[in-house]
Amino acid sequence: PYPHYAWLREHAPVYHDRDLGLWVLSRHDDVATALRDSDRFSSDTGGPWSDLSANPFNPSMKVAAPVARAARRLPAPRVLLTSDPPDHTMLRRKVSRAFTPRRIASWEPRIRQITERLLSQMTARGGRVDLVRDLASPLPTTVIAEMMGVPPERQDRFRRWSDKAIDGLLTNGSLRSTLHGTAAMSAYFAAAVRKRRRNPRDDLISLLVTDGDEAPLSAGELVTFCILLLVAGNETTTNLISNTMLALMDNPRAMEMLQADPGLAGAAVEETLRYDGPGQGLLRLTKADVTFGDVTIPAGHRVLPLIASANRDPRRHPDPDAFRLDRGRTDHLAFGTGIHFCIGHALARLESTVAIESLARLGLTPRPAGTPERINSPVLRGLRTLPLTLT
Ligand code: HEM
């Protein structure tokens, strides 16, 4: 997609796609403006999370009428990702104490253990691996399941639900599958919330149902938030780990530097967030007319701020198409910016850094063993498979 983004930035930085009914922003400053100005750019877009009966990225994809009817009958509690202030402010305050840097950092030893276990299973296979299946996918799902207190024997099922729920976001995905995955998770979390209210334990759900100065989240809000964590956190982190490995294999100099000094893993992950991040674009709805240069986007229109294009804008990032470990900057927009800035950024960075660093410490050289298969989505960027040999 990157040559297309470059064309847009130069020739049509505020591009109106009439077929999709979308205004596409591609320059860093315009994308950052749209994300920071939550007064004029609403997150309540009628997008994939707020209306399961329509997919804004793929309007031609229709859902069966009974499924659409069922989706509309589901309770619609406020969702952090798609709400505006004051609801957003209230929800964010209640959940953010579960994601403080200290709390996330306390997970590091456990994340290292899980990674070591996955790596030893991988090397036991004799050096031929699929990085997605063997490491990038199970790591974040296992970690979040443990954080939520899901018992080990239920974690496989958990992963399947989360995969199903994400399916509707993919171009060829099925909204029926999204709905079924979401329904299964809702039932599971509703029961978990009831149990933790009676018997709080040392996990994320207990933290969210118990202490805090304010009125706790409603059961519906809690269930929705748990689902949001899986959907927003698993696939994205999986993609970050795989995209980092792919970028390193495509840039042998960077790979050599990492092999010589595994402590550079954090820099490789950070550069991948800028260079080939898991999320390409976000969605907003204008609440007023907004002017960029000589183009005015009218109120009530959908806007696609292309964060991945902003991250390659040479006005912001010198030599943007080069993958470099020495940039030392974190001012990319891969985690968004403004009030919706990713609540899981520290966790995603930690998991991805531990994964890449631990792989580098094995002292084995990863080489492609077949063509990696991309996921098919206009908004998510990552790999379905990344076959490798480790020699
Ligand atoms: C929000 C990206 C991992 C939970 C966001 C946003 C972005 C993003 C761009 C802003 C959305 C917007 O402005 O509309 C990513 C990427 C990740 C990642 C690239 C991995 C590399 C995670 C993880 C979790 C998480 C691990 C939790 C376990 C959330 C939540 C929000 C969010 C709950 C909504 C915050 C709000 O609306 O206030 N993420 N994310 N994310 N992310 Fe992440």
12-62 per-position pLDDT tens digit: 999 999 988 899 999 999 999 999 999 999 999 864 444 444 444 444 445
Domains of the chain: 2-390 (1.10.630.10)
Closest residue by CA, ligand 1 atom 39? 342
Of 139, 140, 126, 114, whose CA–CA distance to 369 is shortest? Answer: 126
CB 286 within 8 A of CB 269: no
Give the mean pLDDT of 341-363: 97
Contacts of 29 (CB under 8 A, 6+ apart): 315, 316
Torsion of CA 253, 256, 262, 263, to 10 degrees: -40
- pTM score, whole prediction: 0.92
Helix 219-250 and helix 345-361, axial crossing angle in degrees, nearest 10: 40
Tokens of 325: 């470990």
CB 189 within 8 A of CB 227: yes
Residues at CB less than 6 angstroms from ligand 1 = 35, 43, 80-81, 92, 144, 228-229, 232-233, 236-237, 240, 277-279, 282, 334-336, 340, 342-344, 347-348
pLDDT digit string, tens, across residues 152-197:
888 888 888 877 777 665 555 667 777 777 788 888 888 888 998 8
Tokens of 175: 């909204």
In testing the pocket of ligand 1, which one of 342, 349, 383 has its CB within 8 Å of the most ligand atoms?
Answer: 342
Interatomic CA distance for residues 143 and 70, integer angstroms: 32
Which ligand 1 atom is the nearest neighbour of the CA of 92?
A: 38
Interatomic CA distance for residues 240 and 264, integer angstroms: 16
Closest residue by CA, ligand 1 atom 7? 335
Which ranges constitute the DSSP H helices of the chain?
Answer: 2-11, 28-36, 65-73, 87-96, 101-105, 108-124, 131, 138-147, 155-167, 175-198, 204-209, 219-250, 252-260, 265-275, 307-310, 345-361
- This model of the complex carries an ipTM of 0.99
Of 264, 269, 277, 221, whose CA–CA distance to 245 is shortest? Answer: 269
Sign (positive or negative) of CA dihedral 220, 225, 227, 231 = positive
Distance (Å) from CA 341 to ligand 1 centroid: 7
Comparing 146 with 224, the larger pLDDT belongs to 146
What is the DSSP secondary structure assignment for residue 279, as one 8-state letter?
Answer: B
What is the DSSP secondary structure assignment for residue 70, as one 8-state letter?
Answer: H
Interatomic CA distance for residues 273 and 386, integer angstroms: 18
Q: Which amino acid is at 383?
A: L
Contacts of 319 (CB under 8 A, 6+ apart): none
Count Cβ atoms below 10 Å from residue 78 Cβ, excluding itself: 19
Distance (Å) from CA 345 to ligand 1 centroid: 7
User: What is the share, in percent, of the chain residues with pLDDT greater than 90?
Assistant: 60
Closest residue by CA, ligand 1 atom 42? 342
User: What is the share, in percent, of the chain residues with pLDDT greater than 70?
Assistant: 88
Q: Phi-psi category of 126—alpha, beta or left, where left has phi over 0 and alpha has psi -120 to 50? A: left
CB 237 within 8 A of CB 159: no
As a 3-state breakdown, the chain gives helix, strand, coil percent values, each rounded to 5, of 55, 10, 35
Q: Is the pLDDT of residue 260 over 70?
A: yes
